[in-house]
Chain A
Amino acid sequence: MTEVQYVAPGTLDEAVRVFASASGAARILAGGTDLLVQMRSGAISPGLIVDIKKIAEMTAIEEGADGSFRIGAAVSGAALREHAKLKAVWPGVVEAANLIGSTQIQGRASAGGNLCNASPAGDSVPAMVAAAATVTVQGPNGRRQLAVEKVPAGPGRTTLAKGEIVVSFTLPPRPKGSGDAYLRMIPRTEMDIAVVGCGVSLTLDKGTCTAARVGLGAVAPTVLLVEDAAKALIGSKLDAAALDKAANACRAACKPIDDKRGTIAYRTQIAGVLLKRAATIAAERAGRS
């Protein structure tokens, strides 16, 4: 029988040290809303659990002088929702994190855990991708930054090296006239895993889209950055033709599977519908900013 050990280091260096040197399987514990479920079902049996919630850098939300935000990887969705400024500037990122599970889940689940669990359907990831978030990672070989979309490698796998921990997300400064939104399709109104998730972030200048990013989730082994959809929106006034083109770009980018949550045909069709709706909401928010 595996003996499980629990540690709660107070510094990041300590956390990396003990995580990297673990002899058997080791897991980072933030909110535990994926980890404990997987342990219960027998999917994983970690020998070491490293609780990183005592590390200040991982649990803080900081606003930079340039308008950027640094969000600790272990910050819960509920804490994000309670940060008025973050919610005002990045409503799409905040609503995405707060669609995960239920009120109880949001009280614990973190963007870091959501990203590193690497489910293709993780709700916060398409919004982070659309926001052009970068992650700060610390490991035995030091610290590095990378685009958030470079972290997932496939279902349940990341590109992180052994011993590396995601420390925080950095959201870039927001130009005036910007807005973001995240929408997902689920069969009920709450509680389901996304059948398709779509995050859109865009900037408008006098009604013309000058910048856009589209993140699409649950339609491929990892969350997709759909550059063709963004290209279709940039330079347009987000008219019906541009939205159709972007929607079709999303459909073309889909590589979904048939499973108990959706079919290939259904997911592909919905990807386009959600793009249009999310882009419309992002534009409304951009117009107000």
Chain B
Amino acid sequence: MNAPVSERSDNKWIGQRTVRPDGAEKVTGRAAYAADTTMPGMIWGKVLRSPHPHARIRSIDTSKAEKLPGVKAVMTAKDIVDFPIDKSVMLGIQDMRWMCRNVMAREKALFAGHPVAAVAAMSEKIAAEACKLIEVDYEVLPWVIDVEEAMKPDAPILHDFIKFEGKPSNIAGKLEHKLGDVEKGFAEADVVIERSFRTKPVHQGYIEPHACLVSVSDGKATVWSSSQGQFMVRAMSAYLTGLPQNDIRAIPAEIGGGFGGKTIIYLEPLALILSRKSGRPVKMTMTREEVFRASGPTSGSYSKVKIGAKKDGTIVAAQGTFCLQAGALPGSPIRGAAGCAFSPYDIQNVHAVGYDVVSNRSKVAAYRAPGAPLGAYAAECVLDEVAEALKMDPLQFRLKNAAKQGTKVAYGPVFPRIGYIETVEGAINHAHYKTPLPKAKNGMLYGRGVASGYWFNAGGESSAQVNVNEDGTVVVITGHPDIGGSRASTANIVAELLGIDYRKVAVLIGDTSVIGFSNLTGGSRVTYASAMVATQSTEQVIKTLKERAAKIWKIDPDAVSWENGEARPAGDNAGKFEPLTLAQLAAQANATGGPIGAGKQLNTTGAEGGFATHLCDVEVDPELGIARVIRYTAFQDVGRAIHPGYVEGQIQGGAAQGIGWALSEEYIYDKNGKLDNPGFLDYRMPVTSDLPMLDSVIIEVPNPKHPQGVRGVGEVPIVPPLAAVSNAVYNALGTRFYSLPMSPPKVLEALEAKSKA
């Protein structure tokens, strides 16, 4: 069961499980997601995709498609702005050289599923028929997908402009973090364990496929899309199509899941160009198969981690090499893997290296704490082996080496007050950890595993507008799509500060034309950043309210206080006046100076990383090799839980994704380099019956740099589960293996190898 958040008697709304403002729409099916939107005169767009994993495009003939009755527009890469290879143009974390080649193939098709052309027509059926009439002359090339294969000296090379150590290579980048001297550290160690780990690509798995509706009229565009950032949609669309940003209004539809996968765009620039060419609004949606083939799963990986410790349990050195698959174009999340793997610990000597490796599959997109789960998988499994070799309890081992205020970590910062130790102590003292597990019962094996994890968290740009209506209700406009219930948290904060009923606060997500620049919904930053700007805006509103009361009472504004939703004279000397409520002041707004509202635009800073420790119990059927999680408890420092229900939801959702990653999810390619399981049937995400209740224990060590003490929550939960589940399976089987997913055939193989040994 979910542990209750500590009661704060001075808070009426913050920390309460309020009903989200957009809730009724969501449970009645009325909420408008991108695929639900329509416009008069709307036509349909479809994409033609490369069947080959690697091919030079010699020519594309669209003439037959153009002649098909009902076809209104056809496009190819010629219609997309070219960003030459020799000049990097960054938009956020994306390089436009790669984005322009990702949305549509230019010189080469780089993966099976890569868009090659697109058509807009009167119906989906005609558009699909037209795609079949487009003739593409491919020169098929040898391909490579697996990250280790792609790093071999004789691997097919994707891009002749990528060189590593002077030679053409698929290694597109390297990242290195160093602290101290690991060689010296290992020399002092009593126990040294080094292991290699392999993982397969996994997809974010959002249930809503990508979708957009774009209308270009007289050179001005309106874009409704399912995205994690309407400002990103606007900017990327502008860069890729040549339309100026002020001529694009990007409206965020409700979004059916993103997890990072919708922090870039695929369809919008195509729909924009088709709409511009056809003079009609164009709707485009991806099928589930297209989502799997052509949007960006995260990296498959090959990692090596070596950890050394002294007899007394002190970790003296940690070394890691993380090779992450970028897909067709550079940009795998090596920063997350190398930066986070060892960061829960205070280690004097650390060396972490990441390699970004291209290969012929779809370009990677962010997936919840990108890279960090892969680094943690390797590091936390090796830590477990080291603890075992030292005959130390794995949680006590982590406690002994825990990062705390003042710890310097390899990727740079010195930690301020953090809550990692509290997560480990929480786990040690929890009933879950104290409940013994049988080793075997009724033919089943049982095991318990633990793991910790860290993620950077982000702050970033945010804008908010707080306006008081004439009747004393309040409208808040923020700039971040709500994918997890963030509207509820914002309403909690504004209601708390103003001292009014939560239900009097409406929270809307503004499009690019009505709200100031706001960075993506991602990086565990929405509650953090929007709380900050909403707080500052609301504080400004309160200042104005006090000024209006002062005007009415003819006293100094400094003599007015704001309490419980009312302006009051601040002490007896200020005068005897009846308090004025927000509603009363609102009614007199125009008479006292005009509409009452305030906005704030900030690059919010002060976001601190997040820590978690997870406990996992598994049951293994040794005859079938099936492992199931039967109990799971997650401990996470969230700073301050503005809305405990949605905080728990983030923890549970991330844990569930991690469990799927550990046990059943993987991209499977056939012998022709095509994805063999592009559907929910064979891409196996956990279903209801696969999981137990996911207990989440919220720990609050407030972030001193945030007005409400918030730390980012959303991404940390996916970092520990890969290792927590692996360590539990090891504990049940008594033998380790070092690759994910731990599917039944692999478990059975490991058991058979153990019985033969």
Contact = CB atoms under 8 A, between A and B. Distances in A.
A188 B289 CA distance: 21
Interface stretch (B179-187, B555-563, B620-628): B620-628
Per DSSP, chain A at the interface is loop
Interface string B595-632: 00000000000000000000000000001111010000
Given A192-B684, A269-B748, A187 B664 contact: yes
A110 B557 CA distance: 76
B137 interface: no
Nearest to B623: A273
A53 B744 CA distance: 40
A206 interface: no
A190 interface: yes
Given A269-B748, A270-B624, A260 B676 contact: yes
Contact of A266 (B664, B676, B745): B745
A189 B690 contact: yes
Nearest to A193: B681
B689 interface: yes
B455 to A, nearest CB: 28
B743 interface: yes
A189 B684 contact: no
Given A266-B744, A266-B745, A187 B684 contact: yes
B721 to A, nearest CB: 16
A1 interface: yes
A191 B681 contact: yes
Interface string A185-199: 101111111010000
A89 to B, nearest CB: 27
B687 A189 contact: yes
Contacts of A41: 289
B687 A191 contact: yes
Contacts, number: 49
A117 to B, nearest CB: 14
B677 interface: yes
Contacts of B668: 260
Contacts of A187: 626, 664, 684, 743-744
Interface in B717-757: 743-745, 748
B276 to A, nearest CB: 28
A188 B625 CA distance: 12
A273 B624 contact: yes
A193 B682 CA distance: 8
A194 to B, nearest CB: 12
Nearest to A1: B129
A188 B744 contact: no
Contacts of B682: 193, 260-261
A41 B290 CA distance: 11
Contacts of A269: 748
Contacts of B441: none
B565 interface: no
Contact of A189 (B289, B676, B681, B689): B689
Interface string A247-278: 00000000000001111011001100100000
B686 interface: yes
B125 interface: yes
Interface in A166-214: 185, 187-193, 195
Nearest to A101: B681
Contacts of A260: 668, 676-677, 682
B129 A188 contact: no
A283 B125 CA distance: 54
A20 B348 CA distance: 80
Contacts of B684: 187-188, 191-192
Contacts of B626: 185, 187
Of the candidates B129, B677, B689, B745, the one having the most CB atoms from chain A within 10 angstroms of its own CB is B745
Nearest to A272: B623
A150 B680 CA distance: 32
Contacts of A261: 682
A195 B624 CA distance: 11
B748 A188 contact: no
Contacts of A195: 744
Contacts of B689: 188-190
B681 A192 contact: yes
A185 B624 CA distance: 8
Contacts of A185: 624, 626, 744
Interface string A76-105: 000000000000000000000000000000
Contacts of B681: 191-193
Interface in B653-693: 664, 668, 676-677, 680-682, 684, 686-687, 689-690
A273 B744 CA distance: 14
Given A187-B684, A188-B690, A261-B682, A1 B125 contact: yes
A279 to B, nearest CB: 14
A266 B749 CA distance: 9
A46 to B, nearest CB: 15
Given A1-B129, A260-B676, A261-B682, A188 B687 contact: yes
Contacts of A266: 625, 744-745, 748
Nearest to B664: A187
B623 A188 contact: no
A265 B752 CA distance: 12
Contacts of B745: 262-263, 265-266
A125 B687 CA distance: 25
Contacts of A273: 623-624
A195 B748 CA distance: 14
A266 B747 CA distance: 11
Given A1-B125, A269-B748, A188 B664 contact: yes
B718 to A, nearest CB: 19
Interface in B282-323: 289
Of the candidates A187, A191, A260, the one having the most CB atoms from chain B within 10 angstroms of its own CB is A187
B128 to A, nearest CB: 9
A149 B745 CA distance: 29
Nearest to A189: B689
A190 B681 CA distance: 10
A266 B752 CA distance: 12
Nearest to A273: B623
Nearest to B741: A187
Interface in A219-271: 260-263, 265-266, 269-270
Contacts of B289: 41
Nearest to B752: A269
B126 to A, nearest CB: 8
A286 B684 CA distance: 36
A32 to B, nearest CB: 16
A191 B687 CA distance: 8
A261 B743 CA distance: 10
Contact of B628 (A189, A192, A193, A263): A189
Nearest to A40: B287
A190 B628 CA distance: 13
A244 to B, nearest CB: 13
Contacts of B744: 185, 187, 195, 266
A165 B368 CA distance: 51
A251 to B, nearest CB: 13
A192 B681 CA distance: 6
Closest 3 CB pairs of A and B: A189-B689, A266-B745, A273-B623
30 contacts: A1-B129, A185-B624, A185-B626, A185-B744, A187-B626, A187-B684, A187-B743, A187-B744, A188-B684, A188-B687, A188-B689, A188-B690, A189-B628, A190-B689, A190-B690, A191-B680, A191-B687, A193-B681, A195-B744, A260-B668, A260-B682, A262-B745, A263-B745, A266-B625, A266-B744, A266-B748, A269-B748, A270-B624, A273-B623, A273-B624
Interface of B: 125, 129, 289, 623-626, 628, 664, 668, 676-677, 680-682, 684, 686-687, 689-690, 743-745, 748
Given A187-B626, A193-B681, A266-B745, 20 more contacts: A1-B125, A41-B289, A185-B624, A185-B626, A185-B744, A187-B664, A188-B664, A188-B689, A189-B687, A189-B690, A191-B680, A192-B684, A193-B682, A195-B744, A260-B668, A262-B745, A265-B745, A266-B744, A270-B624, A273-B624
